[in-house]
Each structure stands twice: as structure tokens, then as C-alpha cells.
Amino acid sequence: MTRQKVCGHVARVRRVGRIVFIVLRTFEGVVQLTAKRGVVPDDVWRNASNLGAEYFICVEGKPAERQVARVGPEIIPGKIEVLAESKPTPIDLTGKVEAEFPTRIKYRYLDIRRPEVKAIFNIRSSLSKHTREFLYNEGFVELHFPIIIASATEGGAELFPVKYFDRQAYLAQSAQLYKQSAVAAFGKVFTIGPSFRAEKSRTRKHLTEFWQIDVEQALVSKEDLMDLQFRLVKHVYEKVAEENESDLEILGVSLEPPKSYEKIGYEEALNILRRKGFQVEWGMDFGSDEEKALCSEFEDPFFITEFPASQTAFYYMVSREDPRYAHRIDMMGGGEYGVEWSSGGLREHDPRRLRERMREQGLRPESFGWYLEMFDYGVPPHGGFGMGVERLLLTMLHLSKIHEAALYPRTPDILVP
């Protein structure tokens, strides 16, 4: 039988009489090494007996004739080489003893070796790949926008300041203003990039650093935007279900791609909440409790359309028919794990109205110099959306909190590692 070479971390070593069983976590999966005294060379047996958890080893051997191991393919080692030793780990990586979340984060570089954590990030990788694939097929151009910027895009209070030589700069809250500028040149643009919000929110769905799938398109309608987002999410769900079967199995998630979507107006959302006993008034935005209650009413994703203008950022277009409303659309994941996945809508491209909206919201038009000037130069009507990558994963993978979807989560309390 052909000799094989496998490398990986020792997950477990168990000695039963003359046999040493080693579970090896390779980068791709799990294999079992079975070293029986008298069957494998003496030095291999000795080496096998002395291995510790998280040693990184390379093994040459042949597949066992009778594959009895339940963890994965079984190999009889002919040579074991230790490439890196390990001290006893401060957290258990076998899944037997679950460490508290702060401890897991303290040792995140070890935590991410656990198969159930790796599965989340294999799926996150698929999500990026298939989002790109979908948007490229739809004719979108992928661009990269600045992260260090000079002014607020989503309201002034949530900015992380950065010292930029002798000037004040900020970390981007979103790619909003830049994606709007690019749409006039390219027609259909997107980016997948980080956003930073200095919000002291300690909830299951807030991070201070998160990633958005930011999309913007010229000459688009609200219907087009909802349809595009639904097809994007459906494509990602379908591809993940197809290509990440073993990851989903590790996580115990059976992924059902959404079949259809519903849309409700803001007023209808208020009525649902009132029926559920919430005291809600016209003009309010929905908090976490309201959001949870709304999501539990739907199985599939749904959209809430037409929000009060006072609750929408200045760049959204206010309805010409009824200026109490703005053309903002939020996409929500349905069900128990549902949250707001995206915000988006049609944008204001009339600089005069934009200035008014900024003033209404207490912003100084002077600090949006280039952005406002841009609209004097033939920017076509356009719209788009920003979808939170971690939020989508939260719902898709039934995660207990958003932090699980970030390799190294950033919150008001977590900055290290």
C-alpha cells in the first residue's frame, strides 16, 4: 500500500497497553495514527508515546488495512518527525471542557485551531468567495476604498479618531461616500471591507470593527435592490450548503437556502409590534427587542421599506411625494437568529437637498466639501446597500453572539489579541 505523509497538531494521545493512539488535526481534517509496539519501529513507538497535545508533527506511514478508527482515516506510522513542541495548553482544544468566552479570546490563537471554530471561518471564507462570484457575474466592479478618512459618513458621534501627521483623521464608518462617488464612473461597484464604529454597545450583534459587503448601483429601483440582495443571500446559502457540508455538520447546522422574501412597510412593522404588546410610536427606529420580535414573525428574509426621514442618514433620498419618509430599505434575517442584515436604499443626488438634510441632522455641510461638490457634476440617480458579514453569519450559523463570527473580535472591552 502507498506510503502517505500527513502533518498536523496532536489533538489527543491515548495509550492502551502496547498501542498508542494519536488523533492528529491536519489543516484539512482529522486522522488517527495507530502505533503498536512490535508492529512499528521501536523509535517510532517511543516517539509516539512521548508526544504531547499541540505538538506539530509530520508522519510518514501507510493506511491501516482495516480502517477501524471512527475519527478519520487511520494510518500506521513508519516515521514521526516533531517540527514544533507545545507546552500544555491553557484552554482545552478537544471540545471536552468549554472555556469561558473571555478566556477563549485571551488565547484566541489556540481557540481558532478547534474544528468548531475553524468551521465558522471556513464558511466565512466561502461567504466572501461566493459574494464576489455572484457580484462579478452581475457585472459589478470590485474596488477598494480608503480606510483613513477626513469626515464622518454615518454620524459624528461614533468616530474613532486617528492622528494623521498634524491633522485629525478618522477610521471609516463605512465606504458610503466613496462608493457613491465611484458609481458615477463605473455604474455598478462593490467592496468587501472593514467598518469602524466607536459605539459602546455591548450586545450580541455589535462589534466596533466589522465587515460590510458594500454595493452601489446607478439607475436602480428599490425593487431591483431588494431582488439583488435576496439573490445574493440565496446564492451564498446555496453554495455554502453545497461546499461546506462538513463544516455545517461540525456546527450542527442544516442550512436551508431562503425560498422567497416578503416586504413590509415601516407602518406595518409598527402594527406587528403593537400586536405583540410593544409601545411603539411613529418616528422611532427599532431597538434590539423590537428587531427580535419582528424577525420571529418571519421564516425567510424580509425587507422593511420606507423609514421616517428623521431616522435615516442624510444620504438617503427623501420621498418627493411624502417627505416624512425616506427611501431606506433594511433587509432582515428571519427566525430565532434573525437580525438586521443590511441597510440601503435610494440616495439623494441633488446637492441642494443634501445640504438641507445635513443641516437638519446637525451636520456641517462645509465638512463634506468634495462629496457635496461632486453632485454639481452629473451624478446619476443611484442606490445601494451595506450588508454586515458577521451579522449574516450570526443568523446563518445560529451563533450565540456576533463575536463568534470575527477571528479577532473588537468590542469596547476587547482590543487584545
Contacts of 249 (CB under 8 A, 6+ apart): none
Give the contact letters, 293-332, x = binds to ligand AMO (CB under 6 A), - = no.
Answer: ----------------------------------------
Residue 385 in contact with ligand AMO, rule: CB under 6 A: yes
Give the contact letters, 333-372, x = binds to ligand AMO (CB under 6 A), - = no.
Answer: -------xxxxx----------------------------
From start to end of 73-153, where are the E strands? 74-84, 141-142, 148-149
Cβ 194 to ligand AMO shortest distance, Å: 11
Stretch that binds ligand AMO, among 59-67, 257-265, 348-356, 381-389 (CB under 6 A): 381-389
User: Looking at beta carbons only, is 61 or 333 nearer to ligand AMO?
Assistant: 333
User: Looking at beta carbons only, is 52 or 380 nearer to ligand AMO?
Assistant: 380
Among 54, 74, 111, 154, binds ligand AMO (CB under 6 A): 154
Cβ 350 to ligand AMO shortest distance, Å: 18
Residue 116 in contact with ligand AMO, rule: CB under 6 A: no
**Could you tell me how many residues make up the chain?**
417
Helices (H) and strands (E) in the chain, counts: 12, 16
User: Looking at beta carbons only, is 75 or 402 nearer to ligand AMO?
Assistant: 402
What single string gives the DSSP state of each residue in 246-283? Answer: HHHHHHT---------EEEEHHHHHHHHHHTT----TT
Do 213 and 192 form a contact (C-beta atoms < 8 A)?
yes
User: Looking at beta carbons only, is 93 or 225 nearer to ligand AMO?
Assistant: 225
Residue 181 in contact with ligand AMO, rule: CB under 6 A: no
Do 232 and 131 form a contact (C-beta atoms < 8 A)?
yes
User: Looking at beta carbons only, is 45 or 385 nearer to ligand AMO?
Assistant: 385
Contacts of 109 (CB under 8 A, 6+ apart): 417
Copy the grid coordinates of residue 317.
Answer: 433620498
Among 391, 395, 396, 404, binds ligand AMO (CB under 6 A): 391
Among 25, 206, 239, 357, binds ligand AMO (CB under 6 A): 206
Distance of CA 287 to the CA centre of its chain: 21
HSE-up of 382 (CA within 13 Å, CB side)? 25
Nearest CA-CA partner of 35 in 51, 50, 49: 49
CB neighbours of residue 96 within 10 Å? 7
Q: What angle do CA 365, 367, 370 make, to 5 degrees?
A: 90
Nearest CA-CA partner of 186 in 221, 135, 236: 135
Stretch that binds ligand AMO, among 27-35, 131-139, 207-215, 287-295 (CB under 6 A): 207-215
Residue 74 in contact with ligand AMO, rule: CB under 6 A: no
Cβ 267 to ligand AMO shortest distance, Å: 20
Residue 230 in contact with ligand AMO, rule: CB under 6 A: no
Stretch that binds ligand AMO, among 17-25, 205-213, 296-304, 374-382 (CB under 6 A): 205-213
Binding residues for ligand AMO, how many (CB under 6 A)?
22
Chain residue whose CB lies nearest ligand AMO: 388
Contacts of 349 (CB under 8 A, 6+ apart): 317, 375, 379, 380, 381, 382
Q: Measure the CA–CA gap between 147 and 164, rounded to whole angstroms.
A: 12
Cβ 202 to ligand AMO shortest distance, Å: 11
Among 40, 59, 117, 207, binds ligand AMO (CB under 6 A): 207
Q: What is the DSSP letter of 87?
A: P
User: Looking at beta carbons only, is 4 or 311 nearer to ligand AMO?
Assistant: 311
Q: List 22's β-bridge partners, or say none.
A: 13, 33
Residue 212 in contact with ligand AMO, rule: CB under 6 A: yes
Q: What angle do CA 273, 275, 278 make, to 5 degrees?
A: 45
Residue 188 in contact with ligand AMO, rule: CB under 6 A: no
Do 229 and 135 form a contact (C-beta atoms < 8 A)?
no
Nearest CA-CA partner of 379 in 83, 180, 136, 132: 180
Among 47, 131, 151, 174, binds ligand AMO (CB under 6 A): 174
Residue 384 in contact with ligand AMO, rule: CB under 6 A: yes
Residue 176 in contact with ligand AMO, rule: CB under 6 A: yes
Cβ 248 to ligand AMO shortest distance, Å: 22
Q: Which residues bind ligand AMO (CB under 6 A)?
A: 154, 174, 176, 197, 199, 206-207, 210, 212, 340-344, 384-388, 390-391, 402
